[in-house]
Structure 1
Amino acid sequence: MIADEAFTARILESISDGVFTVDEEWKISSFNRAAERITGVPRGQAVGRYCFEVFRSNMCESACPLKRTMKTGKPLIDRTGYCVTKKGKRVPISVSTALLTDASGAVIGGAETFRDLSELEDLRKELASRGPNPLFRSKSPSMEPLLGMLPAVAESTASVLIQGETGTGKEVLARTLHSLSPRRDGPFVAVNCSAIPESLLESELFGFRKGAFTGADRDKPGRFALAEGGTLFLDEIGDIPASLQVKLLRVLQEREYEPLGGTKPVRTDVRLVTATNRDLANMANDGSFRRDLYYRINVISLVLPPLRERREDIPDLAAGFLNTFAVRMNRTIDGFSPEVFSRFYAYSWPGNIRELENVVERMVVLAKAPEIDKDLLPPELQSPVVCAKDALSGEAGAGVLRVRDEAERDCILAALDNFGWNRARTAQALDIDKATLWRKMKKYGINRP
């Protein structure tokens, strides 16, 4: 019997989960090495004390798993919470409990195991800090054609031209294509062509050889070389000068280029993805962009709709950005008030997803309460809620009414979807009464799916 107890003790000492047992008076009777490590309390200071004095958890007072097990006789598995170490550090944990019985089956106390979830929490924060993926979470019908094409486009080697307004997520789409492609293990290199001076853009793309110009004291690889075996993303492709358009065309035709100052061509294995917020077709027609280059980069065209045409995605995008910035700033924020969402739906978002991200970041910085209210909105979003008010300024007469009705219907649908088709909460968010919402749903033929 003594040998069995010693063997059990050695097992408890060897596992990475913390384990302690309590007697019927809730005093700790055993405390393993992992429990010491996680709580920071030595065994000698833990044994004989009440468990809540040593294992200081947010579950101790109102939702103690061990107390529930002692009362019901049923074990609990993986209840999450946190404990506070001897030095005051908060440690995320998962807890499991069981009854402690003697040889005759009589209850003599309880046992609790707890696992340190700090690494998992750090991973969650890292993933959250990378921000939301605005593509795969899309609920908008306007995104369905694009999303349906992604797998096939990603598997191909064809050049892709992504078109869309500034801030719609063109680089995110390019990264998504890369991550779904056979080149996913290769590099993804992004270049904003409009951010680099014309005089430097050629050397940035193709690199240069030692002695090519004053100060070139060594060879320098360009972005094509850095992207070898992967994907090169050229944003704002419409801004590259005519002289460079010719050289880029050669890369696409011959799969080779010459570094600045070089005498021999260099072979390249790079998939080219380009993007623009300009009308390249018109630029090709008026001669400001080479027509042959336009056809080369536009083998597959993907058009990203602006945020005002995918309002259904606003709740998920906003929540994702909120989580990202709350993690980065170490803030605890539960969410947005309904009034905030009503203004989100009503606004036209000329800066698209990037503007929404900036607005959410501003609100997180200024937030003083767990719920973000409308008073933290920037001035341009503080106006009274009139769904898609900006749609009224573009046309006149019947055209205005048609656009307004379409926008209002989209706004109502997005709000209903966000609030689980709860009409009371939806009406509150849209700042209208339930009867008005009901009438508008009948007017636009909106039925719960």
Structure 2
Amino acid sequence: MDQNILESLSGLDRADLPRILSALPFGVAVLDAERRTLFLNRALESLTGFSTADVAGVFCRHVLRGSFCLHGCPCLSQGRDCAPGACSESREGTLINRHRRKIPVRLTSLPILDRAGNFLCTLDVLEDLSALKDMETRLSISASPGQMVGRCAVMEHLLRILPAVAQSDSPVLLTGESGTGKDLLAEALHRFSPRARESFVRVNATPMPEALLDAELFGQSEGPGGVPRPGKFQLAQNGTLYLSEIADMPLAQQGRLLRLLDEKAVLPAGGDRPMHLNVRVVAATGRDPEEMVKAGVLRDDLFHRLNAVRLHLPPLRERGEDVGFLLAHYLKIFAAKFRKQVLGFSDEALSLLTSYDYPGNVRELRNMVEYAVMVCAGETVQPEHLPAHLRFPLAAGSSVATQASQAQGKPSGALKPARKKA
């Protein structure tokens, strides 16, 4: 940053600070060395229900009244205030406002020092997570095993932008390995869009004869018995069409899809009058789209048309902090589904589950938890309730019969410890 700008900022009149802080879209509290309240910005006044005049000089724990005030405050260390300037971590918790409403927030405590390194004040920055939690709740309607949830930064960002993307009519390209949740994301985009009451039509672009695929996608002016046969695009009129593997579509049909996206109309096979379409297209691929373009299996112009809005779902191995959350999440769902009092995982079972690589991603984790709850007879999932391949990965050259004996709990010389993450 230009030094003149820094000098200008450092020379701001103190009267400017409240105005600047109140323009911020998140809550900010200014606290003294004893964590007494000096100032609340406009966003935090709205969040807490208190004005600065109401709480001036009051300890912050009586203003924020958050769960982190008792457990996990960023500026508390083993029950005692940490030295000024030593804390800068963030914690999630709940804030209880003036009207006794619990609000999910993220608190970040930022010490402010002068040029000599002397403590001036602390800024407590609070971000309202209500919209994020509400989106997770809406995605979890009916507690279906097929809901899309996550706590890692990438998934949190995805859930944040999902409502805005859902409101748009722009084509969307979903990328990610098999099992990461592309189908769920496509359904969520439809469910939270203005098209939610209309059809969601899924098409698996499996290779098939060109004429048959044309009829399947774009319809026929005269089907069997002389009756017009609508294609998938016509069936999705006013709704959403989801192409689950865009790279499997032949190049000729990719060209027709591109024209449809540009012209908003489709000409059924054998027809002479184009039909106007109002369809939102969501496409997905489990492969690298740029590499597919280079390989000539995905049209460059179609890729760029779809890539205007691109959402990527990372593999579970890159969402390490989500594994424990997802295990607890699916345990609760399947315990309710099977009407069992399965409350948790033993340390040994949890160690196996959290050290596994999950090549099948979230789908594989979900299936493992479903199996574990199904066979568990007690309140805690033990290692013997987990699939045999997780407990006893096959050594090179081991037979399926060896794995079967392992599943029965029989010892085998071919056993080796569960895979550990690199």
Q: 1:85 corresponds to which residue?
A: none
Alignment CA distance shift 1:147-1:327 (3 Å) = closer
2:334 is the alignment partner of 1:325:
yes
Q: Which runs of 5+ in 1 are unaligned?
A: 1-124, 392-449
> Share of identical aligned residues, percent?
43
- Partners of 1:328 and 1:173 in 2: CA distance: 23
1:227 to 224, 236, 242: 236
What secondary structure does 1:193 align onto?
Answer: coil
- Partners of 1:169 and 1:198 in 2: CA distance: 29
The 5-angstrom pairing of residues 352-391 of structure 1 reads 352-382=361-391, 389-391=420-422
Alignment CA distance shift 1:296-1:320 (3 Å) = same
What secondary structure does 1:356 align onto?
Answer: helix
Alignment CA distance shift 1:330-1:388 (3 Å) = same
What secondary structure does 1:172 align onto?
Answer: helix
- Partners of 1:144 and 1:337 in 2: CA distance: 28
Q: 1:131 corresponds to which residue?
A: 145
What secondary structure does 2:243 align onto?
Answer: strand
Cα displacement (A) at 1:179:
2.3
What secondary structure does 1:142 align onto?
Answer: helix
The 5-angstrom pairing of residues 244-259 of structure 1 reads 244-259=253-268
Using the TM superposition, name which of 193-202 and 327-336 deviates more.
193-202
The 5-angstrom pairing of residues 135-284 of structure 1 reads 135=149, 138-194=150-206, 200-211=212-223, 215=224, 217-284=226-293
The 5-angstrom pairing of residues 28-107 of structure 1 reads none
What do residues 353-378 of structure 1 show as CA deviations (whole Å, max 9, x unaligned)? 11112212222332222322111212
What do residues 280-300 of structure 1 show as CA deviations (whole Å, max 9, x unaligned)? 212212322211111111111
Q: 2:312 corresponds to which residue?
A: 303
How many residues were matched structurally? Answer: 261
Cα displacement (A) at 1:387:
9.7
Contact 1:198–1:240 (CA under 8 A) maintained in structure 2: no
**Matched residue type, 1:143:** M
Contact 2:392–2:418 (CA under 8 A) maintained in structure 1: no
Cα displacement (A) at 1:314:
2.1
Report the TM-score, using the length of structure 1 for normalisation.
Answer: 0.53
What do residues 169-218 of structure 1 show as CA deviations (whole Å, max 9, x unaligned)? 0011112222222222222222222387766432222222324xxx4553
What do residues 374-402 of structure 1 show as CA deviations (whole Å, max 9, x unaligned)? 112123321599897242xxxxxxxxxxx
Alignment CA distance shift 1:133-1:163 (3 Å) = same
Contact 1:255–1:268 (CA under 8 A) maintained in structure 2: yes
- Partners of 2:250 and 2:302 in 1: CA distance: 12
What do residues 100-137 of structure 1 show as CA deviations (whole Å, max 9, x unaligned)? xxxxxxxxxxxxxxxxxxxxxxxxx9913x225333xx
Q: 1:25 corresponds to which residue?
A: none
Cα displacement (A) at 1:349:
0.4
RMSD over aligned Cα, in angstroms?
A: 2.7
- Partners of 1:195 and 1:322 in 2: CA distance: 38
Contact 1:284–1:291 (CA under 8 A) maintained in structure 2: yes
Cα displacement (A) at 1:347:
0.6
What secondary structure does 1:369 align onto?
Answer: coil
Between Structure 1 and Structure 2, whose CA radius of gyration is higher?
Answer: 1
Q: Which runs of 5+ in 2 are unaligned?
A: 1-139, 394-415
Report the TM-score, using the length of structure 2 for normalisation.
Answer: 0.56
- Partners of 1:167 and 1:200 in 2: CA distance: 29
- Which one has the bigger helix percentage? 1
Contact 1:189–1:227 (CA under 8 A) maintained in structure 2: yes
Cα displacement (A) at 1:148:
3.5
Alignment CA distance shift 1:354-1:287 (3 Å) = same
- Partners of 1:246 and 1:169 in 2: CA distance: 27
